[in-house]
Amino acid sequence: MTSWSPPELTPEVRARVNRRISELYERHRHADAEVASYYVSGQGYISGDAAGGAADTFGVALTSMDGETFGAGDDNVAFPLQSLSKVFVYGLALDDHGREAVHRHVGVEPSGDAFHTISFDERRHIPHNPMVNAGALATTDLVMGADGEERLARIVDLLRRCAANPTLEPDQEIFDLEVASADRNRATAYLMRSEGMIGDDVEGTLALYLRQCSVKVTARDLAVMAATFANGCRNPVSGEQVLPRSIARDLLTVMYTCGMYDFAGEWAYDVGVPAKSGVSGGIMACIPGKMGTGLFSPGLDPYGNSVRGVNVCHEVSERLGLHVFATDDEDAMIGPSAGDADPADIPRTG
């Protein structure tokens, strides 16, 4: 058995990747996809009739392991991270305290429930995992710092380093809208405090959580962030090791099993890559050792995941052979036989 590593991006490989990205974008831009709702800060979930031009917004980007980013469509449109921020704060908590200490406060088991469900692991008396809201409140509470301002600065600094973009920052308007409509998260946080799951400063922890969710990124930023995790937490653009390499394994594992909420099991089986979604319509997906992808389209399915984003990831997995358990020969994007492969000729699974 011969080993294989991603090739350098020769002009031929670049042309192929650009072609695949453009094909994906055009195919899913015009495809009929049933949308359940759109999420708007301060309003919650709204129908397609009220979404206006947002319904047509769609961007897709890919970052390779040598730090080159390819994109199509609205890949430079900024949107709030929302639940996508949970992965990064979980990583920061692991770096601050170590995995054993963190996992005394939050588990790693898929909950099988919606992300905002107020439920806990009754056996261990902790939130199920860091990707549901209760678990994210617990990991945010664990971030170290002298005060809320320093803790926020550390979170934003990590996001900037993961994206190789020093301009990322929370959006004040989005934060204000989220605070005004945070009744469910506030109820969850106070219940957690009453059960000893988080510290006494509930409002401070809630505000920090909502500020991390309000940081704006683009699909291109997300692709770099995903590639950073796919590259063992080393940013392929800047070359910086943003978190210890050992943390990458924990992040990718939890993304794989819990990152897509109560759709996580089907996602792992059909798509088969570590990923995280947010209700703003973003998805980041990591193909370890190969690439990171970032997608943005605000139309959501009943699980709260981007409809176009999920469909693109299905195609990336099935037609381009990038399922984490696929062989390198199946990789029609940058694999050893990619130059000769037509994605339409690759057998579909399932």
Residues tagged active-site: 83, 86, 209, 261, 279
The angle at the Cα of 101, spanning 97 to 106, to the nearest 5 degrees, equals 110
Q: Cβ distance 202 to 271 under 8 Å?
A: no
List the beta bridge partners of residue 293. Answer: 62, 285
The angle at the Cα of 243, spanning 240 to 249, to the nearest 5 degrees, equals 120
98: Cβ contacts below 8 Å, ≥ 6 apart: none
List the beta bridge partners of residue 79. Answer: 217
Q: Cβ distance 74 to 218 under 8 Å?
A: no
| 238/55 Cα distance (integer angstroms) | 34
Q: Residue 246 corresponds to which tokens in the numbers above?
A: 């050992």
The DSSP call for residue 281 is S
* CB-count exposure of residue 334 (10 Å: 0-12, 13-18, 19+): buried
Helix ranges restricted to H, the chain: 11-30, 85-97, 99-102, 133-142, 148-163, 172-180, 183-194, 202-213, 219-230, 245-258, 264-270, 307-318
Q: Residue 57 corresponds to which tokens in the numbers above?
A: 């917004």
Q: How many residues does the chain have?
A: 350
